[in-house]
Structure 1
C-alpha cells in the first residue's frame, strides 16, 4: 500500500501547479478565484511533499515510470520519463514548496490588482504556478532531458516574472538574464549530446552504470561541460556575474523566490552530477577553488553596495560557495553540511528579500543613502530584519552557524592544504557577512533619518520623480508608504519561524541531512530503485 501511495503522490508536485496554472489563466478576470486556486494548489503541494519526505525516509527511494514506459528489451533500463524521489529531492521539494507558498501569500498581501497599467498581474499567478511546477519537475527528474525541460520551464516563467510591468530597467535585466540562461541551456544541451553519444541513454541511473565503461578522459570532459551549465544556474564564480544585475530590478516577491530557489536548482544538479553520475572526485580541486572564489568575490561585492537588494544579491552569490565547498569535499560530513546549508539558505535568503519589500513599503526606498530611523519607526520591521540577518551571518545558535560549523569540521577532517584554505576563507566570509548586515542595521535602522545623505528624498518626499533619481536607487512612488499590510508581514514572520525551526530542531534535521548524504554518496539505492527491477 505504501509504495503504491508513493507512486501516486510522486507526480503531484508537478501536476498540481500545472493544472492550477491553466485554471487561473482562464480565471484571469476573477482575481479572487485566481488567488483561491493558487493558494489551494500550493498548500496541497506542501502537504504532498511533506508526505513524500516521510515515505522516502521510512521506506526508501520511490521511482515512477510515467506512462508505464518500461524497457523494450530484456536487460535494458526504462524508457520515457522517470520521476524519482529520494531523501534529497524530497527535502528540496518540501522546503521549496513552503517558500513558494509563503512568497505567493506575500505577493497577494502586497496588493496585486488585476488591471493595473504598470503591473499586468492577471498573468502573475498563472506564471508563478508554472515556475513552481518547473522547480518541482527539476527536483523530480530522473533523466537528464527531463531535468533540461525543468530548466527551460523555469527560464520561460522567470523571464515573464522578471519583466513584469515592462519597465526599462526590468526589460534590460530580463534580456541579460535570458541571454545568460540560453547560453547555459545550450551548454547543457551539448552536454546531453555527449552523454547520449557515450552511453546511449539519458536516464540518470542508466548513465551512472554505463559511464563506468567510458574512458576517464571522456568522463571528465562530459562532467566539465555539465558543471559549466549547472554552475551558471547556481551562480558559481566566475559564472555568477549575471545575478546581481538581474534579480534586484524585479518586484520584491519575484526577487525573493528567485534568490531562494533558482540558484539552488543549480546546486541540486551539481550534487546529482557529482555523486550519482561522476563519483570519484575528478573535479574536486577545481570545485574547491571555485567555492573559495565564489565566497570571497561575492562578499567583497556586497561590501561595495549601497542598495540593499544588490547587497543581498552579492551575499547570495557568496554563500553558494559554502554549498559547493561541502560538495567538493566528497565526504559524508561535507555533503550533510552542504545539504543542511542549502535548506537553511533557501529559507533565510528568501526571508531577507521579503523584508526588503517591507522596507520599501515602510520607507519608500531600499538604498542605504536614503534610509534611517527604521528601528524607531517600526520595531516590528527591525525584528523581522535582524533575526534572518543574524542567521545569515552565522551567529550561534542559529542554523547558519550550525551549517557552517559542519562544513568547517568537514574541511578540517579532509586535512588537505586546499581544504584548510577553504576553512579560513569560510571564516573570513562569515565575518564579512556579519559586517555587511551590521552595516545595513546601523545605517537603515539605527541612525536617524536626518543623518542619511539623501534622507529627505525618501518617504518624506513622495513627489520625487523616478527620472530624477540615480540608476542604483530604488524608490517607490506611491501613497501607501508607511503601511505594511498584514498579508506581507504574516508570511515573512512564518518564514522566520521556519528558519528558527531549523535551529530548534537542528538535531533531527541534521540527522536527516546525514542520512540523505549517506544515500546520495552511496548511489546503489537510487540506481536499484530505477533500474534494479529490470536487471
Structure 2
C-alpha cells in the first residue's frame, strides 16, 4: 500500500510527459488521459477502503522517516476527497475531449491542454495526500501553474483581463503561504504536519494564534471565503466551459481541505470558533445575495459556489466530530454538484450562444434532456430531499443544533441561504427553460469558446454530465456507509492521535 499511495501523483505526471512527447497524436493523448484518471480513481477507492478498515496509509518517500523526510498520508478524509475529485476530473476530461472533437475535428491534438490538465490533477492529488506543509505549498503551485495555462488558452481580451485577476491574486496568496511556511519553520523547526501538531502547542499562545490566522488568510483566499472571494466571480465565468467546471469543482475545495486539515491538526479547539462562524455567515449570505443580482449564468453559479463554501466553513467552525463529519460530507457533494452545473451551463451556452439569462428561453421544449440535466443538480445544490445536498445539510444542521446558541443561529442562516439558493435557481429555470424558444445568438467572437451559439453537442458530452449526476446520486444511495466513514473521520480529526501515530509512530517518532 505504501507504493500505491504515490501513484495518484506519479501517474498523472507521467501521463503529462507522454502527452507532450506524443503531442502530434490526438488519440494517444485522449486514451492516456482517460486511462490514467480511471486508474487513479480505482486506486483512490482502494485507499479509502484500506484507510477505513486499517487506519491511515503512510508512504515515506526516499526512505527517510518522518518528520525528516516527506510523507504521503491517506486517511479517510484525504482518500474520500481524492476519490470524488478524481471522478470529477475524469468526467470533465471526457466532456472536454468530445467538445474539442465536435468543434475542431477528431485529429486535432493539443500541446498544452492535456499535459496541463494532468499536471493539475497531480497537484490536486499531492495536496490531498501530502503530510507536510512545504509539500502542500508545492502542490498548490503545481495546481496554479497548470491552471494559469488552462484559464488563458484560446483567449480574447476579456478572458485575458479575467486571467490577470486570477494570476495576480494567486501569486499573492502563494507569497503569503510561503511566508507562513517560513515562519512556522522558524518557530518550530519542522514542517511535518504530524510533528507540528505536537510542537505548535509548545509555542507561546500569541505566536500560535498569529500562525493560525496567517494560514486562515492563505487558505481563505484559495477557498474564496468572504471577504477574500472577490477574485472568483470575475475569473471562473470567463474560463472555457470544461475548465470552469474543473476549477469550480476542485480548486476551492482543495483550499478548504487545507484549512480543515491544518486547523484541526495543528490548532485544535474545544469549543466553536466564533471568528469562523462569523465568516461562514458572511460567506453564505454574500454569495447567495450576489447570485440573485446576476444576469450572467456563469457569474450566478460562481456566487452560489462562494455561498456554499460557507456551509463547509460552518461545519469546521462548530469544531466537533459531528460538525467536521458534516463538512466532509458537504465537500464531497459540493465537488460533484458545482462541476455538474458548470458543465450544464456550457451545454446551455452552446445552444443559445449567450450567458445572459434574459436572452434565453424555451429550452425545456427544444432540449428536454438538458432541462433534466440542469434540474437534478439544481435541486441537489438547493438541498431538496432526498438529494445528496439534503443529506449533507441535515448533517450540518444536526451538528449546529447541539453546539450551543451561536451555532444554532448560524444554522438558521444556513437554512436562509438554502432558500435563497433555491430562489436563484428557480429564476434560472424560468428564464432559461420556460417561455418561447429564442434563436441562437451569432458568435460574437470566434476565438472565444464560451459563446459558440451552436446546437452541435454530441452524446458523450451529455453522458459525461450525466456521469457526474450519477456520482451525486451515489452519495445518496450510499449515504449510510458514507456517513459512517465521515463520522469516524471527524472523530479522528478531533483526537488527532490516529494521524500522528500513523506518521510518527506511537512514540511520536522519537
One fold, TM greater than 0.5? yes
Secondary structure (helix, strand or coil) at the match of 2:369 reads: helix
The answer (yes or no) to whether the contact 2:102–2:458 under 8 Å persists in 1 is no
TM-score (normalised: structure 2): 0.96
Please give the alpha-carbon distance, in whole angstroms, between the structure 2 residues aligned to 1:106 and 1:113: 11
Please give the alpha-carbon distance, in whole angstroms, between the structure 1 residues aligned to 2:412 and 2:271: 23
Pairing 1:84–2:73 present: yes
Q: CA deviation at 1:173?
A: 1.1
The 5 A counterparts of 1:394-473 are: 394-416=383-405, 418-449=406-437, 455=438, 458-459=439-440, 461-462=441-442, 465-466=444-445
Secondary structure (helix, strand or coil) at the match of 2:402 reads: helix
Please give the alpha-carbon distance, in whole angstroms, between the structure 1 residues aligned to 2:45 and 2:240: 29
Match for 1:8 among 3, 7, 11? 3
Match for 1:247 among 218, 229, 236? 236
Please give the alpha-carbon distance, in whole angstroms, between the structure 1 residues aligned to 2:458 and 2:355: 18
The answer (yes or no) to whether the contact 1:306–1:369 under 8 Å persists in 2 is yes
Pairing 1:36–2:11 present: no
TM-score (normalised: structure 1): 0.92
Please give the alpha-carbon distance, in whole angstroms, between the structure 2 residues aligned to 1:490 and 1:390: 19
Match for 2:459 among 466, 470, 486? 486
Match for 2:51 among 39, 52, 56? 56
Q: CA deviation at 1:23?
A: 0.4
Secondary structure (helix, strand or coil) at the match of 1:501 reads: helix
Pairing 1:520–2:500 present: no
**Structure 1 unaligned residues grouped into runs of 5+:** 1-5, 71-76, 450-454, 468-472
The 5 A counterparts of 1:357-372 are: 357-372=346-361
Pairing 1:496–2:469 present: yes
Please give the alpha-carbon distance, in whole angstroms, between the structure 1 residues aligned to 2:86 and 2:386: 26
Secondary structure (helix, strand or coil) at the match of 2:59 reads: strand
Pairing 1:288–2:285 present: no
Q: CA deviation at 1:283?
A: 8.3
Secondary structure (helix, strand or coil) at the match of 1:391 reads: helix
Q: CA deviation at 1:211?
A: 1.2
Secondary structure (helix, strand or coil) at the match of 2:229 reads: coil
Q: CA deviation at 1:507?
A: 1.2
Change (3 A) 1:229 1:283: farther
Please give the alpha-carbon distance, in whole angstroms, between the structure 2 residues aligned to 1:55 and 1:206: 24
CA deviation vs aligned residue, 1:147-172 (integer Å, no higher than 9, x gap): 00000001100010000113212211
Secondary structure (helix, strand or coil) at the match of 1:165 reads: coil
Please give the alpha-carbon distance, in whole angstroms, between the structure 1 residues aligned to 2:269 and 2:444: 58
The answer (yes or no) to whether the contact 2:216–2:259 under 8 Å persists in 1 is yes
CA deviation vs aligned residue, 1:395-436 (integer Å, no higher than 9, x gap): 0111111111111111110122x2122112111100000001
Please give the alpha-carbon distance, in whole angstroms, between the structure 1 residues aligned to 2:172 and 2:385: 40
Please give the alpha-carbon distance, in whole angstroms, between the structure 2 residues aligned to 1:112 and 1:157: 22
**Structure 2 unaligned residues grouped into runs of 5+:** none
Q: CA deviation at 1:475?
A: 6.2
Q: CA deviation at 1:527?
A: 0.5
The alignment yields a C-alpha RMSD, in angstroms, of 1.8
Please give the alpha-carbon distance, in whole angstroms, between the structure 1 residues aligned to 2:449 and 2:376: 24
Equivalent position of 1:510 in the other structure: 483
Change (3 A) 1:474 1:136: closer
Equivalent position of 2:64 in the other structure: 69
Equivalent position of 1:19 in the other structure: 14
The answer (yes or no) to whether the contact 1:114–1:121 under 8 Å persists in 2 is no
CA deviation vs aligned residue, 1:119-171 (integer Å, no higher than 9, x gap): 98331011000000000000011000000000000110001000011321221
Q: CA deviation at 1:512?
A: 1.2
Please give the alpha-carbon distance, in whole angstroms, between the structure 2 residues aligned to 1:324 and 1:195: 24
Equivalent position of 2:189 in the other structure: 200
CA deviation vs aligned residue, 1:80-116 (integer Å, no higher than 9, x gap): 3111111100001100110010000000111258989
